[in-house]
């Protein structure tokens, strides 16, 4: 049986992430993904793709470098929570964390940011990696206190989980998969 033309052809949608201007993704409803594949992107771009998951948020994050990957993962995490365009990158602070390997470090980094956000009642919108190794990360993060009048809460992200967590180098850069508990 032939699929309807609309499903066969897909449709184009906007992409989240740095360098996302003038880029689109092809929606493929038959594969259970919100976005599928890159369309007209450059090597320096980074961003995230939210994939279908029954109860949590599964994100595939991509970037040209490992530093950009950790930055894109943090932006994707806070992008699930609120519209980052409305969060001013004021009040910078240093954040450092350690992990056993690149995957553990990514989960620790994201959970540190989620924890700070919850304790200090603030959203972060700018992330600058100052030092990165396989087991240690130091970054400057900037954001502002949560203002319910300006910052609508989209989803409450509780934690980055280790289920399906991966960090890998690809022929075009770096890619990570992170499952967030909502």
pLDDT classification of 6: cutoffs 50, 70, 90: very low
Distance CA 150, CA 120 (A): 17
pLDDT of 65 > 60? The answer is yes
pTM: 0.73
Task: Give the residue carrying structure tokens 């959970």.
Answer: 111
pLDDT classification of 50: cutoffs 50, 70, 90: low
Please give the share of the chain, as a percent, with pLDDT higher than 90: 63
pLDDT of 19 > 50? The answer is no
For range 52-59, the mean pLDDT: 70
Distance CA 85, CA 96 (A): 25
* 149 or 25, greater pLDDT: 149
State pLDDT tens for residues 118-175. 999 999 999 999 999 999 999 999 999 999 999 888 888 999 999 999 999 999 999 9
For range 77-95, the mean pLDDT: 94
Q: In what order do the strands lie in the sheet with 136-145?
A: 93-98, 136-145, 122-132
Task: Give the residue carrying structure tokens 């022929």.
Answer: 171
User: Which pLDDT score is estimated for 131?
Assistant: 98
- Number of structural domains (the chain) is 1
- Pick from 9, 8, 5, 41: which is nearest to 24 by CA? 41
Number of CB atoms found within 10 A of residue 118's CB:
12
Residue 39: CATH number of its domain: 3.55.10.10
* 84 or 18, greater pLDDT: 84
Contact yes or no for 16/24 (Cβ under 8 A): no
SS3 165: coil
Residues in the chain: 182
Distance CA 125, CA 143 (A): 5
Q: In terms of residue numbers, what domain contains 63?
A: 5-181
């Amino acid at each position: 049986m032939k699929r309807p033309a609309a499903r066969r052809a897909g449709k184009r949608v906007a992409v989240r992430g740095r360098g996302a201007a003038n880029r689109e993704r092809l929606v493929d409803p038959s594969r259970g993904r919100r976005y599928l594949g890159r369309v007209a992107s450059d090597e320096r771009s980074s961003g995230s793709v939210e994939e279908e998951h029954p109860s949590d948020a599964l994100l595939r994050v991509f970037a040209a470098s490992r530093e950009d990957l950790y930055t894109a993962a943090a932006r994707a995490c806070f992008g699930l929570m609120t519209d980052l365009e409305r969060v001013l990158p004021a009040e910078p602070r240093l954040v450092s964390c350690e992990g056993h390997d690149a995957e553990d470090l990514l989960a620790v980094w994201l959970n540190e940011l989620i924890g700070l956000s919850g304790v200090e009642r603030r959203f972060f919108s700018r992330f600058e990696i100052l030092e990165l190794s396989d087991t240690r990360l130091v970054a400057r993060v900037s954001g502002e206190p949560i203002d319910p009048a300006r910052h609508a809460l989209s989803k409450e992200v509780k934690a980055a989980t280790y289920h399906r967590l991966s960090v890998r180098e690809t022929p075009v850069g770096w890619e990570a998969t992170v499952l967030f508990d909502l």
